[in-house]
Each structure stands twice: as C-alpha cells, then as structure tokens.
A and B are shown apart, each in its own frame.
Chain A
C-alpha cells in the first residue's frame, strides 16, 4: 500500500539552528500539507501546497517557515531559526486531487523535532 514517508523520525537541534524536515508524498498525489502536534495538544494545520506554490497557510506558518518541492518526489519543511516552542511532532500529508473532491489525506508517521 502506498504511504507517505518522512525522515528523519527524530531530530534534535540547538535553538537558533536551521532544520529541514523531509517528506516523500504518495507518487500520484498533487496536494501536500504540513501539520504539527505539540506534545499533549491538538494536531494543527501549518500549510498546504499545490502546483509549486502555497495554497493556504496558518498564522503559525510565519517567516521562519518555508516549504519546497525541490524535485519530483520530495516535499520539505524548513524552519530557519528554531525556537524551543518549535518542539513538536511534524506530520506531512498528501492527497490526490482536490478537483476530484473530498479525497482523503494520507499522513506520514511524523518527525519528532526537539529543540534544546
């Protein structure tokens, strides 16, 4: 069964450092997303991406965050200068084609980011 793959599974970084979280969405999917979940809290939407541009972003997704699809398979989330409060589980998701309406989102297993 196709799946969304995220690497690394766990990343520890020092405050102020840049991190890049990587995702390989399902191959025929066209919509890509990042969500995050701070320990013990809700899953929160960060950003959606379609046709090589951001289609929607939340207020969490400020100038410290950026997304990129550098090639035909990877989808990355970059945090430019990490803060302690960026520590969370980051989930990548993809869905097939919104034009087909209401296709479900498939989530990866997440990257646990710990900022120290």
Chain B
C-alpha cells in the first residue's frame, strides 16, 4: 500500500499557484519523496524529488517540512496543461520500485 495520503481532488485557476499537499508521516530516514503526474491515461511523468531540503526545478518546487512528515508540491503558475493526477510517492534510496496511491486530481480552469 502507498505510504502517503493526498486529497482526492483540487481546483486551481489558470495562472495561479497550485499547492498540492502530501502526508507521509511514516517516512523513514533514507526514503525520498517523489512526485509524478499522469495526464489523462498517458504514462506517469516525473516532476521532482527530495530528501529533506526544499527543491526547485523548471517544473515545480517541493517543500518538505522539517520533520519530513509532510510535503507540498508547488506549481507556480498553473496552466490548463497541468490538469492531471499528481502522485506523491516515498521511495527508498536507490530503490526505484514506485508504489502509486490514488493521487490528487488537479483541475486547472480558465
């Protein structure tokens, strides 16, 4: 079973920031937090990952709380093409089996 809890759905206005929360209260010290998304029925797409420091790349930012029990994925300026299911996944260092939960369905509206 997935070790994360995410809200089933969220809405966001186009151009605004989308903040997607994730709880992973049982995360162990060597597990990373990964975010993937799935647009319609396409293959999952990697977004970002982190261990304990905040991370940023061209797609998004990842904020991890100091106790590592939760994190937030931030899409700074959401577009209609960001409408997708977003998955928060914890994964062991160097161990790439991904356990997908049900994710958060993000709907970006004009």
Of the candidates B44, B46, B93, the one whose C-beta lies within 8 Å of that of A101 is B93
> In the assembly, what is the distance between CA of A91 and CA of B45, in Å?
12
Chain A residues lying within 8 Å of B93, measured Cβ to Cβ, are: 101-102
Query: B8 to chain A: closest CB distance in Å?
Result: 13
Of the candidates B32, B44, B91, the one whose C-beta lies within 8 Å of that of A43 is B44
Please determine whether B44 and A107 come into contact, CB atoms closer than 8 angstroms: yes
Asked if B29 is at the interface of the complex by the 8 Å CB criterion, the answer is no
Q: Contacts A102-B49, A104-B34 known; A45 to B97 CB distance under 8 Å?
A: yes
User: Which chain A residue lies CB-closest to B46?
Assistant: A104
Please determine whether A48 and B43 come into contact, CB atoms closer than 8 angstroms: no
> In the assembly, what is the distance between CA of A48 and CA of B94, in Å?
13
> In the assembly, what is the distance between CA of A33 and CA of B45, in Å?
14
Chain A residues lying within 8 Å of B96, measured Cβ to Cβ, are: 31, 33, 48, 95, 98, 103, 105
Chain B residues lying within 8 Å of A31, measured Cβ to Cβ, are: 96
Within 8 A of A (CB), among B81-101: 87, 91, 93-101
Please determine whether B102 and A42 come into contact, CB atoms closer than 8 angstroms: yes
> In the assembly, what is the distance between CA of A33 and CA of B49, in Å?
19
Within 8 A of A (CB), among B38-79: 38, 41-46, 49
> In the assembly, what is the distance between CA of A42 and CA of B42, in Å?
13
